[in-house]
Amino acid sequence: MNKVFHVMYDDDDTLKDAASALVAKGIRVKDVFSPFPVHGIDPIIGVKRTRLGIAAFMFATTGTTLALLGMWYFMISDWPMNIGGKPSFSLIENLPAFIPVTFEFSVLCGAHGMAITYLLRNGTLPGMPASNPDPRTTDDKFVMEITTEQNALSADELEAAIKETPLFELSTKDYK
């Protein structure tokens, strides 16, 4: 039988100190639920660096390509346009006129792509069931999740170590 501990703290600094203390004992913290991003918690509990930036770059590059391709088709190929008194009918020569649109479309694709990816990855799209263990973590409490599955210590040893930290509340659940 595996056990999961939800350790609640009422301050982000207390949480960070407790996490450091537990990690120093070789305990692996699975996750932290907090109402706001806790600065500096990631390296303590060993969260991998996000790849969201790379995704954003790829979305933005897609936007740049689509914008240029679209404008080339609309304004050069399909219906040649006289742009700013310069009827050159060439993408490269009319490029300055396309730069603002290209920029805006890149930002649009980058921002939307990034936001949707983030929501999907976290399972927080509107209507999705909440995955935080306690509704108070959206208000003013911080919860640390520790499982026996990820740790070599037994449930009793873990509980003893957790109780040494200045916790606010502790709830334990069994799961298969």
Query: Rule CB under 8 A: which residues touch another protein?
Result: 39-40, 53, 57, 84-86, 96-97, 99-100
Considering the complex, state which of residue 50 and residue 171 has its C-beta at the smaller distance from another protein.
50
φ, ψ at 171 (rounded to 5°):
-125, 145
CB of 41 to another protein, least distance (A): 12
CB of 86 to another protein, least distance (A): 7
CB of 58 to another protein, least distance (A): 12
Considering the complex, state which of residue 99 and residue 160 has its C-beta at the smaller distance from another protein.
99
How large is the C-alpha radius of gyration of the chain?
25
Measured in Å, how far apart are the chain's first and last C-alpha atoms? Answer: 6
| Amino acid letter, 169 | E
φ, ψ at 114 (rounded to 5°):
-65, -45
Considering the complex, state which of residue 3 and residue 16 has its C-beta at the smaller distance from another protein.
16
Residue 28 in tokens = 């692996």
